[in-house]
Structure 1
Amino acid sequence: MIRAMMENQNASVAQEGGKMGSDGYTAPSLRVQLNVQDKQVVIDNGMVQVTIAKPEGFVTGIKYNGIGNLLEVLNEEWDRGYWDLVWSEAGSAGTTGTDDRMNATKFNVIVENEEQVEISFTRMWDSSMAGQMVPLNIDKRFVMLRNCSGFYSYGIYEHSGDWPAFNLPQTRIVFKLRKDKFNYMAVGDNRRRHMPLPDDRSPRRGQPLATPEAVLLVDPVEPEFKGEVDDKYQYSCENKDLQVHGWICFDPPVGFWQITPSNEFRSGGLLKQNLTSHVGPITLAMFLSAHYGGDDLVLKLAPGEPWKKIFGPVFFYLNCTSENPLKLWDDAKEQMLSEVQGWPYAFPASAEYQILDQRGYVNGRLMIRDKYISDTLIPAAGAYVGLAPPGEIGSWQTEVKGYQFWTKADSDGYFSINNVRTGDYNIYAWVPCYVGDYRNDEVITITLGCQVDVGDLVFEPPRNGPTLWEIGVPDRSAAEFYVPDPNPKYINRLYLNHPDKFRQYGLWERYTELYPDSDLIYTVGASDYTKDWFFAQVPRKIDDSTYKGTTWQIKFKLDDARPSETYKLRLALATANVAQLEVRVNSPQANPPLFSSGVIGHDNTIARHGIHGLYRSYVVDVPGAQLVVGDNTVFLSQTMSTSPLQGVMYDYIRFEGPPSPNDKKDAKSWTCSRNSYVLDNNVHI
């Protein structure tokens, strides 16, 4: 089995490697070689050979295990392996812009010895290209190590203090593999399969659907895919789970894997969803994207705003076997763990990259104070605790310029955040089964080698009174609600009988089929949110071009109504897409409503099968005078209806009574926090 074992924090990297297989064969230990030619450079360590166009920095060829080129030889050389970005002028709306393959203009050798080769492809900003080229200095680096079955890449972007403003919605690394070789994709243990061919998406073989990414395969090359929907967003993944993905070739058995050992340089935090791999066969290393968040996740640099960031390194791992080709996936997961354990790497030569002894550590304990659950502090078991640049509460989920460092608290609420780059940070957290976000007001400055103990921190989740009723589980996802089976005409067989059934195409259309004449009605105490609460509040289809906003009802009983008191309706949204949510109580036509969100969100989660986008939380004051003893109704109206893909997903809804010194403990919520969340300390984030 191949390994790329990193010797922690040594200047040189000792690794052992070989071809995976029961035959026990190990590749000879050969030095890394660099061959600089007129229009290309070749780096070779006897296991892998990588050819890169000079000076542009496109990867034109990867030779491994007898395959002359793993990349798609039918593509132009600039369209096989490359860094790219999307940029737009300052003030531009939306998440699109100009695609830029980042053609470098200069090549440099940074390190060349028997153990390591590091090469650089740079493009410097030229003011004469203002408006035509993104105002960034760009340095693309490639690294190959001795006895390492693969190669690394990282990039350094810099915007000087006197350069123009601009927007940067996306940047990434793309590899396009040979379609005649790689047709088995793996994103996770239960998300792997043989994939259709790119030809199947052509107009002759595929029928375009409501979104440009989705195609119904009507006449695929391989008949087994007939009737399936292919959509790259069906394979998206949260950053916290996005550490290894790739493709397998069965003849000969070879794997090509993209391994991301750290989330620190990705935008949007652990819950940000990114693309992985998709039909092509294509594999992506996403660093910055606006997917599942819209304009809020676009990096926007002001005029004269200095900015510098290093993306990566990420590892492109190659393996082979003489056994079952599917074992290559298991080996890739083991290699990922090795890379994670070796982070931060010791080998990058850029001064912008901070090695272990240049970084700091933060540890502490997070506790929860909620008098309606316990008289004493509660350990924040399984809390996600992180460091991100100073900002507002919850700002980490739209943070795109700096670095983030996250960990998971243990069952007693203790946490340790390791390998933090120097700089200023706030501590942020959120706790499964509790509403809201935590932020510690004190700014923490990380210096070289520092160890900061913040002691006990206390999070007071937002609450005004005892829980009278609740719907869902506050986990920032709509996954616990009713997700219907897909229309049989629009299926992806991977997700049949799968826990992620929300990834099927066209589920928004099922709402109209289930509620053709009237909207959803949920009765507290009788309804079951796993069966009776549709996962997304979307418009009802009237005809092929007309949609109507929907009003859902929550019916509940009160044994006591206090006219002079104020009740609270707490709404946590898992996503919103060009939606407007209005709340009324016992008066469906009241104008104005008790609450209106205004038009919110550009997450596009409904179309992209993501089950959540950006988290939003609201609290609605409900005057006790509007409530009655006995039957009451909350009306939730989603009024936007120009598209079937507008709407919201709820995370959690709670109705709180007015506070009272004699309130009993909220046993229902405590049961939720103990039993609805399973702590997993083996997740690498």
Structure 2
Amino acid sequence: MSSPGVQLDVQDKYVVMDNGILQVTISNPGGIVTGLQYNGIDNLLAVENDETDRGYWDLVWNLAGSKGTKGKFDRIEATSFKVIVENEEQVELSFTRMWDSSQEGRVVPLNIDKRFVMLRNSSGFYTYAIYEHLEEWPAFILDRFRVAFKLRKDKFHYMAMADNRQRCMPLPDDRLPYRSQTLAYPEAVLLVDPLEPEFRGEVDDKYQYSCENKDNRVHGWICTEPPVPVGFWQITPSDEFRSAGPLKQNLTSHVGPTALAVMHSVHYSGEDLLLKFGTNEPWKKVFGPIFIYLNSLSNGGDPLSLWEDAKEQMAIEVEGWPYTFPVSEDFPQSDQRGNVSGTLLVKDRYVHDDNIPANGAYVGLAPPGDVGSWQREVKGYQFWTKTDEDGYFCINNIRTGDYNLYAWVPGFIGDYRYDVIITPTAGYDIYMGDLVYEPPRDGPTLWEIGIPDRTAAEFYVPDPSPVYINKLYVNHQDRFRQYGLWERYAELYPDGDLVYTVGVSDYTKDWFFAQVTRKKDDNTYQGTTWQIKFKLDCVDESGTYKLRLALASAHASELQVRVNDPDAISPLFSSGQIGKDNTIARHGIHGLYWLYNADIPGNLLYEGENTIFLTQSKSTSPFQGIMYDYIRLEGPPSSDENKRP
């Protein structure tokens, strides 16, 4: 039966949207969601919290020139309220905070317009925001911004973010100092006296539930308390407004119970992803809409079926993108957008004589920049897809603007960029034809370690220490999400560092997933040197060999390469200090991607046994280290250009 339509009640301190299915109460004029009434529950949000700490947009910012990634927290409270649309089919509300020079140094120099939309017959509501920095306004730095919802801890105990990543969760009270022990950083605690005994001895850490943008479509919570099971879900139907491309990792849901829609963060990247604005830099961007979806069971069914229903709703929202209902002129409709298609091929003569279809490649449009710059791009929009088995791609509903086309291909190192700027226009299709990526390659492969897929997932990930367990990740494909794995290296290699012998060792068993520091007895740390041993039947002493080092992550590290002389004062190659992504501490399997190419003169190599020494020299914390994606040694270029190994 159809609902009576959307009703709006504007009061002195609150604004209430009601479509007969749910009722949303928002502070006036602050634009903070204070109440969410649904299916017999008077408020799904954390009633024990202050009203400003239930459902809100927030950001962290800092003054220009500030160092690091810590800044000023701002739970964005608007100062003005306006009804944009009000009829039985739709209500759209605007809560704005406008900046002026009297606020300089105290308030982030942005105009912020928070929007909330409710539709008829919809079991949920939408929110989006428009950020604007005008020319001649002060320079500043943005660290992160997101939407946060905090739910009732007495009702929501089951969290789900993927088919294989869902569980009953501890209570926030279990993290209190007298019930838990803080571990190496405040976000991680060992539950020593939880209210529910089943959680005793487990680690709780919000970073264990991070997710890549490309997979971060729906997550949330299930309430199994009477009167009926209820689900609260945060659905993100598009990544176009998220920073840094499809592989960027962000937080999702975690103990609280909390559900986050992260638009931008520096997690798993560090200072490289800070948004830094100059004084003469105008900027405007729309974030969202995202959908807050509520569902319930009326017939006593399995509460986990609410997750299946949420996934179905997510597919509907994705199919409906770009939405037709947002009224803001800054959100273009489908007929105001363009499309780009083509075919990506790979040319590597040492793999195949002919061009190879780039099967499963990631192809995207992002603001113009250098090769691979998309993973550090934070101010514009990005649009990504994957190729089919023939290398064909089609990117739809692209905002008008100037872009480079970027790509990377699993199975091949490096990044592709189409050098000519592309400008999709409203309603038009651009066909690119055949694009050919030539990955870095000088000569035939002599040996390789790993799979070039931008992660360290194929390498050996140990079991966690028995005292640092998250039960969800026991015998799980994401076993790298367990806490404290960095400590396992020294336990597994107590008397010396890793030695890998080409042709004998197995990288899935014998190559530790991260080259971390080693903790010494005096609680200091030392760098580590890994060895790769290999044989050469013959050596071209006048030729140049190439060592390709693709890194999946780096944190405050320096990678040095030496060949056949571990004591050489000067390394053959040094990366210098690189990385601030903190992936090791935050249970990721990759951060930002790095590719280094080191020339090895043939006269440094021997016929017979050789050793490459890989030293990570920085050593002031347990979290410094490198994750390798893939390593390859190439021989000198073949005299026959068409010869394959």
Shorter-normalised TM-score: what interval? over 0.9
Q: CA deviation at 1:395?
A: 0.5
In structure 2, the partner of 1:293 is 269
SS in 2 for 1:440: strand
In structure 2, the partner of 1:239 is 213
In structure 2, the partner of 1:338 is 316
Which residue among 223, 226, 233 is the counterpart of 2:200?
226
Tell me whether 1:113 sits opposite 2:113 in the alignment.
no
Which residue among 250, 262, 283 is the counterpart of 2:259?
283
CA offsets 1:456-494 (integer angstroms, 9 cap, x no match): 100000011000000000000000000000000000000
Which AA in structure 2 matches 1:512? A
**1:46-195 equivalent positions in 2, closer than 5 A:** 46-195=20-169
SS in 2 for 1:261: coil
Tell me whether 1:408 sits opposite 2:386 in the alignment.
yes
Q: CA deviation at 1:662?
A: 3.1
Which AA in structure 1 matches 2:47? V
Whole-angstrom CA distance in 1 between matches of 2:169 and 2:41: 21
Which residue among 331, 353, 364 is the counterpart of 1:386?
364
Decide whether the 8 Å contact of 1:360 with 1:418 is kept in 2. yes
Whole-angstrom CA distance in 2 between matches of 1:130 and 1:440: 41
Whole-angstrom CA distance in 2 between matches of 1:36 and 1:660: 76
Q: CA deviation at 1:447?
A: 1.4
In structure 1, the partner of 2:490 is 512
Structure 2 unaligned regions, length at least 5: none
Q: CA deviation at 1:133?
A: 0.4
Decide whether the 8 Å contact of 2:79 with 2:95 is kept in 1. yes
Q: CA deviation at 1:93?
A: 1.6
CA offsets 1:261-287 (integer angstroms, 9 cap, x no match): 000000010000000000000000000
**1:437-476 equivalent positions in 2, closer than 5 A:** 437-476=415-454
Considering only aligned residues, what root-mean-square deviation do their CA atoms show, in Å? 0.8
Q: CA deviation at 1:374?
A: 1.1
In structure 2, the partner of 1:303 is 279
Whole-angstrom CA distance in 2 between matches of 1:442 and 1:532: 44
Whole-angstrom CA distance in 2 between matches of 1:351 and 1:589: 64
Whole-angstrom CA distance in 1 between matches of 2:643 and 2:70: 50
Decide whether the 8 Å contact of 1:577 with 1:600 is kept in 2. yes
In structure 1, the partner of 2:534 is 556
Change (3 A) 1:182 1:544: farther
CA offsets 1:207-259 (integer angstroms, 9 cap, x no match): 00001110000000000000000000000000000000000000220000000
Decide whether the 8 Å contact of 2:58 with 2:75 is kept in 1. yes
CA offsets 1:133-165 (integer angstroms, 9 cap, x no match): 000000000000000000000000000011000
Decide whether the 8 Å contact of 1:388 with 1:403 is kept in 2. yes
CA offsets 1:270-326 (integer angstroms, 9 cap, x no match): 000000000000000000100000001111111110000000000000000131110
Whole-angstrom CA distance in 2 between matches of 1:546 and 1:100: 37
SS in 2 for 1:633: strand
Whole-angstrom CA distance in 1 between matches of 2:517 and 2:352: 41
Whole-angstrom CA distance in 1 between matches of 2:65 and 2:358: 41
CA offsets 1:556-605 (integer angstroms, 9 cap, x no match): 00001111110000000000000000000001111210001111000000
**1:357-436 equivalent positions in 2, closer than 5 A:** 357-436=335-414
Whole-angstrom CA distance in 2 between matches of 1:241 and 1:392: 26
Change (3 A) 1:491 1:666: farther
Whole-angstrom CA distance in 1 between matches of 2:540 and 2:484: 45
In structure 1, the partner of 2:296 is 320
Which AA in structure 2 matches 1:392? D
Whole-angstrom CA distance in 2 between matches of 1:499 and 1:368: 30
Whole-angstrom CA distance in 2 between matches of 1:661 and 1:629: 20
Which AA in structure 1 matches 2:53? D
Whole-angstrom CA distance in 2 between matches of 1:543 and 1:298: 37
SS in 2 for 1:193: strand
Q: CA deviation at 1:544?
A: 5.1
In structure 2, the partner of 1:4 is none
Which residue among 191, 194, 200 is the counterpart of 1:217?
191
Whole-angstrom CA distance in 1 between matches of 2:492 and 2:641: 40
Q: CA deviation at 1:333?
A: 0.2
SS in 2 for 1:351: coil
In structure 2, the partner of 1:659 is 637
SS in 2 for 1:339: helix
SS in 1 for 2:395: strand
Change (3 A) 1:665 1:231: farther
Whole-angstrom CA distance in 1 between matches of 2:95 and 2:166: 35
Decide whether the 8 Å contact of 2:90 with 2:117 is kept in 1. yes
Which residue among 556, 566, 589 is the counterpart of 1:588?
566
Whole-angstrom CA distance in 2 between matches of 1:556 and 1:666: 21
**1:479-628 equivalent positions in 2, closer than 5 A:** 479-543=457-521, 545-628=523-606
Which AA in structure 2 matches 1:485? D
Whole-angstrom CA distance in 1 between matches of 2:65 and 2:400: 31
Decide whether the 8 Å contact of 2:7 with 2:19 is kept in 1. yes
Q: CA deviation at 1:664?
A: 7.5
Which AA in structure 2 matches 1:182? F
Q: CA deviation at 1:543?
A: 2.1
SS in 2 for 1:509: helix
Q: CA deviation at 1:661?
A: 2.6
Which AA in structure 1 matches 2:85? V
SS in 2 for 1:219: coil
CA offsets 1:102-146 (integer angstroms, 9 cap, x no match): 110000000000100000000000211100000000000000000
Decide whether the 8 Å contact of 2:129 with 2:287 is kept in 1. yes
Q: CA deviation at 1:516?
A: 1.0
Which AA in structure 2 matches 1:342? G
Decide whether the 8 Å contact of 1:467 with 1:666 is kept in 2. no
In structure 2, the partner of 1:21 is none
| TM-score with structure 1 setting the length | 0.93
Aligned length: 641
List structure 1 runs of 4+ shifted beyond 4 angstroms: 663-667
Q: CA deviation at 1:28?
A: 3.9
Decide whether the 8 Å contact of 2:18 with 2:24 is kept in 1. yes
Whole-angstrom CA distance in 1 between matches of 2:242 and 2:562: 40
In structure 2, the partner of 1:6 is none
Structure 1 unaligned regions, length at least 5: 1-26, 668-685
Change (3 A) 1:45 1:485: same
Which AA in structure 2 matches 1:124? M
Whole-angstrom CA distance in 1 between matches of 2:428 and 2:271: 36
In structure 1, the partner of 2:240 is 264
Decide whether the 8 Å contact of 1:182 with 1:281 is kept in 2. yes
SS in 2 for 1:441: strand
Whole-angstrom CA distance in 2 between matches of 1:650 and 1:101: 38
Whole-angstrom CA distance in 2 between matches of 1:188 and 1:507: 23
In structure 2, the partner of 1:19 is none
Decide whether the 8 Å contact of 2:353 with 2:642 is kept in 1. no
Q: CA deviation at 1:666?
A: 4.9
Decide whether the 8 Å contact of 1:373 with 1:665 is kept in 2. no
In structure 2, the partner of 1:682 is none
Whole-angstrom CA distance in 2 between matches of 1:78 and 1:594: 57
SS in 2 for 1:423: coil
CA offsets 1:59-118 (integer angstroms, 9 cap, x no match): 000000000000000000000000000000111122110000111000000000010000
| TM-score with structure 2 setting the length | 0.99
Moved more, 590-599 or 543-552: 543-552
Which AA in structure 2 matches 1:530? T
